[in-house]
Amino acid sequence: MNRREWLACALGAGPIALANPPRFIPAIDTHIHLFDTRRPQGVPWPPKDDQVLYRPALPLRYRKITAGLGIVGAIEVECSPWFEDNQWVLDIAAQDSIVVGTVGNLDPGQADFANRLEQLHRNPLFRGIRYGNLWGRSLADGFSKPEVISNLKLLADTGLAMDTANPDPPLLAAVVRLTDQVPSLRVVIDHLPQLEPPRDMSARTALQASILELGKQPQVYV
């Protein structure tokens, strides 16, 4: 249903719709983390000394936390740099329909990226990768490696997306470059409200220019 059809239905309902407004609009939560601190091998994140987060975070607990809020599905975004945890999350997701997709962990700078992407993409729940300012990986530095750009083109050709993490001015400038070199790649800039604007006015002006440029790109999401 497109916007016009939705408006037509809403207007057609008229007084009925207004008399019984929904408490919540059905929504997809686009960024959650799944992990199980009880695993024998542990988890790389969150740290054990985090008294708030260090506890099992699984779909059943998520359902309880969000009950009554209109959440009908969630996208898991990987919080582990361990490759094998991609499959762990997919196995967990297969057990509960609240998880409608996952954004996994693959390094486009690695030689086996294409093979690993093909392996994970066989599962329709695998919808993209997380890359940039995370796990010692820098999108800005990746431009010096031809294989990174070619692998991100492969990611785009596969119909998958790339999420970034921990945004800062260099990362946003790198995303601008990426949209020029791989315009078909959908990019999601996670945690953008956490970005602290630089105090230096020239750096702040450069950051604003990056944000304005990214705002023109229909394939970039926040």
pLDDT in tens, 210-221: 999 999 999 999
Amino acid at 99: V
The pTM of this model reads 0.86
pLDDT in tens, 31-81: 999 999 999 999 999 999 999 999 999 999 999 999 999 999 999 999 999
pLDDT given for residue 45 in this prediction:
98
pLDDT given for residue 19 in this prediction:
57
User: Can you tell me which residue has the tokens 């002006």?
Assistant: 205
pLDDT given for residue 10 in this prediction:
45
